[in-house]
Structure 1
Amino acid sequence: MERKRSDIIAEELEGLILGGVFTPGERLDEVQLADRFAVSRTPLREAFHRLALSGLVEHIPHRGTFVRQPGPVELIEMFEVMAELEATCARLAAARITDEALDDMRATNARCLAAVEAADHDGYYHENERFHAILYRQSGNGFLEGECLRLHKRLMPFRRMQLRLRGRLRQSMSEHEAIVEALQRGAADEAAEALRAHVAVQGEKFHHLMAGLKQAAE
């Protein structure tokens, strides 16, 4: 499936913001960016909207769109909630997941592994999104799935950033395999704990994530 131009622009802007090219408080110039990406303002504004959902920009009426980044407390709180929501998905999915969905998760893991071997961080991330989307759906709870998808979008740039930490791709891949194995056995508590540990940003992971944001801000 061909990706929308606005999604590609959003990811490029995300990298520029997290890389420090655009700094917190800076106004994003629509005219300059439309020229830079050779697009009309429509896909650019769609990209701004996606970034706003992630909290990386803020639109102020009659003033424009400005760069912002969540502080450490806000970020850790969001990851804590995400970890618990996904753990609940895993607990429910352990009893409800279909054989077809398990096959889909294994196929996604195979593509994740290929991305790991190729050191393709973006490729891994997109397959990782599919992996988690299958899990949300297999919880069998539409409301929970919707909440997970909303918060997943909010945290997208930061989940992508942590995958660039040295050794994180292989670690994430190993965690995916443990999750599928627990779901296969119907081990609800084990699957929930595996998801919680996979998503939570604590200890060294949080330290590196915040260091990356600090460098971007500087």
Structure 2
Amino acid sequence: MNLIKDLPLSIQVSKKIEDDIIFGHFLPGTKLDEVELCERYGASRTPIREALKLLAAEGLVEIRPRRGAIVPEVNPMTLCEMFEVMAELEGMCGRLAARRIQDDEKTKLLSMHQRCAEYLESGDSENYYEMNRQFHFQIYLASHNSFLIEQAGSLHKRLHPYRRLQLRVSNRMSNSFAEHEGIVQAIIHGNEAEAERLLREHVVIQGQKFTDLIATISTYTKS
């Protein structure tokens, strides 16, 4: 099953615009003209506008009155700080999930983990990331804390372009899956402290790998 092709067109387009921003095709300060975007991505204005709204919610695009969509400056230090906060929120989600997860939620989490294994084996980073995203949101839901779910979900969405891109860094996808294995076992066996520690480290690793991410972006931009 191809998760990406099953997504709404607006989300598929948003991922393409996302890549073009991160890889330097659209530089900071660039005005994203809807007509040009329609031609570039072969889509009508409706999914383009919906895609821009999605990207604005993630902070990759700013929609300004009378100016339209603009690519803003991205501060690497701010991204690092966001990863630090995300690590703490995910750790808390893991701890509560290990305490409160229901049997049907365990089944869903294990199923998602298995799907990640299949995408890893085929080297499909895009579909791996989409299932990885659902995997993390399932952990948030298993915390059964609505405010925490809202906050973790919101920050995850802000960071998702960079988390997705990091899977293209050498060995990151296989390392991510190995880390997931420990997280899953800790949660389904009710090991709260271990689940919290592993999830925090899982996201902090992403932050520590930020220099690899910047190098990857630079490589794509120069190519």
CA distance in 2, matches of 1:29, 1:148: 32
Q: Aligned to 2:66, which of 62, 69, 92?
A: 62
2:21 aligns to what? Answer: 17
1:136-179 CA-partner distances (Å, limit 9, x unpaired): 10001011111111111111100001111110111000111100
1:63-114 CA-partner distances (Å, limit 9, x unpaired): 1211124211110111111111111101111110012211211111111011
1:154 aligns to what? Answer: 158
Q: How does 1:3-152 map to 2 (within 5 A)?
A: 3-152=7-156
CA distance in 2, matches of 1:215, 1:61: 34
Q: Aligned to 1:180, which of 184, 188, 200?
A: 184
CA distance in 1, matches of 2:168, 2:216: 10
CA distance in 1, matches of 2:133, 2:12: 15
CA distance in 1, matches of 2:165, 2:54: 17
Q: How many residues align?
A: 217
Report SS of the residue matched to 1:123.
Answer: helix
Root-mean-square deviation (CA, aligned residues, Å) is: 1.6
TM-score (norm 1): 0.94
Instruction: Give the letter for the 2:143 counterpart.
Output: S
For the 8 Å contact 1:22–1:67, the answer to whether it is kept is yes
Structure 1: segments with no counterpart, 5+ residues: none
Instruction: Give the letter for the 1:72 counterpart.
Output: P
1:112-149 CA-partner distances (Å, limit 9, x unpaired): 01111111000100110111111010001011111111
1:21-55 CA-partner distances (Å, limit 9, x unpaired): 11111111111112333333221111111111222
Are 1:191 and 2:198 an aligned pair? Answer: no
After the TM superposition, which parts of structure 1 deviate over 6 Å for at least 4 consecutive aligned residues? none
Structure 2: segments with no counterpart, 5+ residues: none
1:177-211 CA-partner distances (Å, limit 9, x unpaired): 100111122111110010011112343x1211222
Aligned-pair CA distance for 1:20: 1.5
CA distance in 1, matches of 2:122, 2:82: 31
Aligned-pair CA distance for 1:212: 3.2
Report SS of the residue matched to 1:65.
Answer: strand
